[in-house]
Structure 1
Amino acid sequence: MTTLLRIHGFSAPVAGPKLIVLGGVHGDETCGTEGIERVVAELDAGTLALRCGALTLVPVANPLARQRQRREGERNLNRLFQPSDAPADYEARITNLLCPLLDRHDVLLDLHSFQSAGDAFAMIGPRDNTGTLEPFAQATEEGRLALHLGTSRVVEGWLDIYADSLARRAALPGGMPVDDAALAFGWGTNEYMRSRGGYGVTLECGQHRDPEAPKVAHRAILAALRLLGMVASAPEAAPPSRPELLRLVSVTDRAHEGDQFVREWATFDAVAQGEPIGVRDDGAVLHAECDGVIVFPNSEALPGTEWFYFAVPSDRVL
């Protein structure tokens, strides 16, 4: 299997939005690849026609990770997603290829899946703001895209809780101060897209091996194309139902291989304040900080990486 980046580009003779869709940012997440390949086949066969704009499809954004059939090639492609003058690893070199692609587009749809059981959901960025962490002015457009992807839940708040987790680590004995380089490591594809004046949504299509996940990915690509007016819409299409909106409030790292969950959690399992979630290697019990839900529980997380996230209901309106 090649470690070359394969890119499909389609342009209509009529001007319009520019959408890029990524699959396989993590090598063990194949649903996005399958959904993209299906759309490529439909466009090639003429059963799907682009009426305006430009569409770029990248079935496998991290070919080395896919070749190795694991999440990462040499590191997580969805971290430190910024161009580098001196790329130090394979993912940095791929980032240098992907960033100019994103620069030429208005909208990003990034297709993923997750390790635990759970239903598909969309992830969006910050509300409109002029702050220093992630200034943004297209929250309405981004929320509208998430609303039309067909999931029952939408989650906000990634970069905020990443910055908070850095601050907590810095407060520990021997902790490193939080600087721009540390914050930049939290940047993924969507953060980069927003920094370039566009907007982006991550779609978590379900569990890695869920046979429905590729169908979720395929439907989402078509939904995005219809929403942007790039393909014809069915006149009888019903308006989307309102998803549950959640806000990430914390992330907990797995510190030791001996850290274990008290039971097998699924994404969006509800927990009550004080309920035990996991037990550290030294016997310390981790309890839920308040009523909420578990997101991305990963019993296979390596020490020093994200073990689980915690979310609560959001007051945001899409």
Structure 2
Amino acid sequence: MIVNSGGFRLVSFDSGKLGPTVCVVGGVHGDETCGLNAIEVLERELAVGGRLLRGRLLTLVANLKAIRLTRRFVDFDLNRAFGKSDAFGHESQLAKDLASYLIEMDYILDLHSTSAPTRPFCAGALTDRHLEMFWMTGLEIYTHGWEVHRGHTMLIDEVNRLGGVGVIAECGRTGARETDEIAYSTTIHLLQELKMLAPVKLQPTASHRIVRIEQIIRANSDRFSFTRHFENFDPVKAFEVVAYDDGEPVTYHLPFAIAMPTQGKLQVGDEAFGVGIIE
């Protein structure tokens, strides 16, 4: 089955046997390519003889118009548009159109990448079901709390509202070969753990770390600048000056791991970084 609405593309592979319904998503942000590349390889392998052992697998290319434009979004960030009353334009309608398909899913893996190099990690809600899904991805770091600060407006939040389990995998820097490989291997790891694909030897995960996003720091001006180059999950000391915002120092009263620091030019209201507390 192929659903091509013009706004999105959804392809279904059905084993004909009882099992979970899993959806792999790419292209929520039109300038992030790792999910698209992982989906292309996965679809090709299933088309030329790969076999699902059970359940149903769907691949969703979520925002075709933004992908054609090579832009993060057309009118409004799709990953902030689900259930948001003031969303508008192309992505507002697209979020509504997608919702009727998301209700069918048991698990959704939403593949993303970042503008700067980053250690791969997952993001989602903190429930037993979400943690179980995270453990099946083969990644080491799980963050939660983004959804609270963003008002539960992401695609995975819509999946959660509809009774499924949605997790984001941030796979690395956009355009890097390693990022594409991680997006694909994370997908295969999940499907093999769910016994939907024939088992092969998987790289064991050395450890797991859970990070709670206690706060999202946003720019209060267009003169926000970090005091140094921060990598994702770099440790920060209590009261260390992380950045200056219109000349004012930005600090936090506890030690934390800096999450998703945005190193580029920020506008007022943009997310600068998350305050991550290691649990």
Task: Work out whether the TM-score is over 0.5.
Answer: yes
Q: Percent identity?
A: 27
* TM-score, with structure 2 as normaliser: 0.91
Map 1:190-209; keep pairs closer than 5 Å.
Answer: 190-209=156-175
In 2 relative to 1, CA 232–141 (structure 1 residues): closer, same or farther, beyond 3 Å? Answer: farther
* Equivalent residue, structure 1, for 2:31: 28
Q: Deviations over 1:2-35 (max 9, x none)?
A: 9642221111111210001110111111111101
* Equivalent residue, structure 2, for 1:279: 244
* Equivalent residue, structure 2, for 1:291: 255
* Equivalent residue, structure 2, for 1:102: 102
**Is 2:224 the partner of 1:259?**
yes
Distance, in Å, in 2 between the alignment partners of 1:88 and 1:272 is 40
CA contact (8 A) 1:123 1:202 kept: yes
The secondary structure found in structure 2 opposite 1:309 is strand
1:149 to 137, 147, 152: 137
Deviation at 1:80, TM superposition (A): 2.8
Distance, in Å, in 2 between the alignment partners of 1:114 and 1:220 is 16
* Runs (5+) with no aligned partner, structure 1: 127-138, 163-182
Give the stretch that moved more between structures: 101-110 or 144-153.
144-153
Deviation at 1:111, TM superposition (A): 0.5
Q: Deviations over 1:30-67 (max 9, x none)?
A: 11110111100100111x21111111101x31122222
The secondary structure found in structure 2 opposite 1:250 is strand
In 2 relative to 1, CA 124–147 (structure 1 residues): closer, same or farther, beyond 3 Å? Answer: same
* Equivalent residue, structure 2, for 1:220: 186
> What code does the residue aligned with 1:121 have?
F
Map 1:2-81; keep pairs closer than 5 Å.
Answer: 4-46=7-49, 48-58=50-60, 60-81=61-82
Which structure has greater strand proportion? 2
Distance, in Å, in 2 between the alignment partners of 1:88 and 1:310 is 29
Distance, in Å, in 2 between the alignment partners of 1:90 and 1:238 is 41
CA contact (8 A) 2:218 2:273 kept: yes
The secondary structure found in structure 1 opposite 2:177 is coil
Considering Cα pairs closer than 8 Å and 6+ residues apart, tell me whether 1 or 2 has the greater RCO.
1
The secondary structure found in structure 2 opposite 1:216 is helix
CA contact (8 A) 1:31 1:213 kept: yes
* Equivalent residue, structure 1, for 2:146: 158
* Runs (5+) with no aligned partner, structure 2: none
2:235 to 270, 276, 288: 270
Q: CA RMSD in A?
A: 2.1
The secondary structure found in structure 1 opposite 2:72 is coil
In 2 relative to 1, CA 220–287 (structure 1 residues): closer, same or farther, beyond 3 Å? Answer: same
The secondary structure found in structure 1 opposite 2:142 is strand
Deviation at 1:217, TM superposition (A): 0.8
In 2 relative to 1, CA 284–87 (structure 1 residues): closer, same or farther, beyond 3 Å? Answer: closer
Q: Deviations over 1:141-171 (max 9, x none)?
A: 3212211212221111223344xxxxxxxxx
The secondary structure found in structure 1 opposite 2:65 is helix
